Structure 1
Amino acid sequence: MTLKILGISGSLREKSVNTRALRAAGAVMPAGMQLEIADYGDVPLYNQDLQDRGIPPAVERLRAAIESADGVLFASPEYNFSISGVLKNAIDWVSRTSPQPFKGKPVAIMSATSGLWGGARHQYELRKILGSMDALALVKPEVLINLALTKFDADGQLTDANTLKTITDQMAAFRDWIVRLQPRD
């Protein structure tokens, strides 16, 4: 059985270090895991008037991708001590769909920032938000990629051995977390 992992980057930028971190995670996932990175750049800004007219197709696609995944891996920058606006907006939309796809969903979190803290405050905020929707967040190992621009080469490849090891360890723990949470017959 292959575990389907949906990667969600908190940055829509083409050369995002967080999207690069997701790709690095996909490359070191244990056998039996497969990563797909969500494309949600067309999710509109949340507006109750839009919701009243029906869930937009872009939101429904993201909801369906989350629902069909065995686990969701987030990688996001920290903006103003919190999560990025595009990620918060996407989560706000998806939280209003039915069925709400984060309930009982195993999730893991990484962050890559240019600062020294590596996105720790972002991770705290994201865990709080996901917890309110009954997502099941992997606690450790934490992946906090600080000074991220120095850890990827010009082609977007992760070159820092310590960071790669931490991501590898997290992906093994994420696999075990997902398997442990799966219903037993």
Structure 2
Amino acid sequence: MSKFKLLGIAGSLRRHSTNKGLLRAAKASLPDDVTMEVADLLQVPLFNPDFPDPPPSVRRVFDQMAEADGFVLAATEYNYSVAPALKNILDWASRVPGNALLCGKPAAMLGAGGPMGTGIGTARAQYHLRQICVFLDLRVLNKPEVFVNAYAGGFDEEGNLTDPAVIEAVAAQMQALRCALKLN
């Protein structure tokens, strides 16, 4: 039986997203006492404070966040920043009274992407996401960092991670997150 629950959230909505592939790799490498669900953001509307209550698609993710002891955030990079889907669900969650869904929870951040020909993966998006997480009072791991160049051949056609070195880096990050969960 698992002791800790994680929620994985990818900024990409694509079915064969490499960032969703990173979440699958993270889930496969979790220690035995940790489980992870992955949030579905496909039907989550843009945050609008005019909604009297969050729509059902948002409430489903809120339920997952409430049950989670921590998060794995896959930072898809769009135009040198965080993808709208990830930022949007964090904006929705930040409006819950007392920041109850996010406050003080540990989070790991990883990402695959970046312009072709660079080796920096989603470093710029992760930097912006780290700033957002500071405001939201999430406790983001400082290391190990996982920045993956999505164009270097480390993923198959369905977005699954195949690069052994990156699989090892993701597993190390999940072990570090497990330690953070224990301390939280």
Question: TM-score when scaled to structure 1?
Answer: 0.91
Moved more, 62-71 or 15-24: 62-71
Is 1:162 matched with 2:165?
yes
Aligned counterpart, 1:93:
92
Q: Which has the higher contact order (CA 8 A, sep 6+)?
A: 2
Superposed displacement of residue 155, structure 1: 4.4
- The code of the aligned residue for 1:103 comes to C
Is 1:110 matched with 2:113?
no
Go from structure 1 to structure 2 and tell me whether the alpha carbon gap of 1:147 and 1:54 turns closer, same or farther (over 3 Å shift).
closer
| Alpha-carbon distance in structure 2 between the residues aligned to 1:156 and 1:133 | 30
Q: Deviations over 1:27-67 (max 9, x none)?
A: 111111111111122111122222xx222222222122112
Local SS of the residue matching 1:13:
coil
| Alpha-carbon distance in structure 2 between the residues aligned to 1:65 and 1:168 | 23
- 1:134-149 matches, within 5 Å, as 134-148=137-151
Aligned counterpart, 2:8:
7
- The code of the aligned residue for 1:138 comes to L
> Could you say what the CA RMSD is over the residues aligned between the two structures, in angstroms?
1.5
Identical counterparts, % of pairs? 41
Gaps of 5+ in 1: none
Does structure 1 conserve the Cα–Cα contact (< 8 Å) formed by 2:77 and 2:114? no
Q: Deviations over 1:84-126 (max 9, x none)?
A: 0111111111111234211011111001005321101111111
| Alpha-carbon distance in structure 2 between the residues aligned to 1:78 and 1:56 | 26
| Alpha-carbon distance in structure 1 between the residues aligned to 2:53 and 2:28 | 37
Aligned counterpart, 1:120:
123
Local SS of the residue matching 1:49:
coil
Aligned counterpart, 1:74:
73
Local SS of the residue matching 1:19:
helix
Does structure 2 conserve the Cα–Cα contact (< 8 Å) formed by 1:10 and 1:18? yes
Question: TM-score when scaled to structure 2?
Answer: 0.91
Aligned counterpart, 2:56:
57
Gaps of 5+ in 2: none
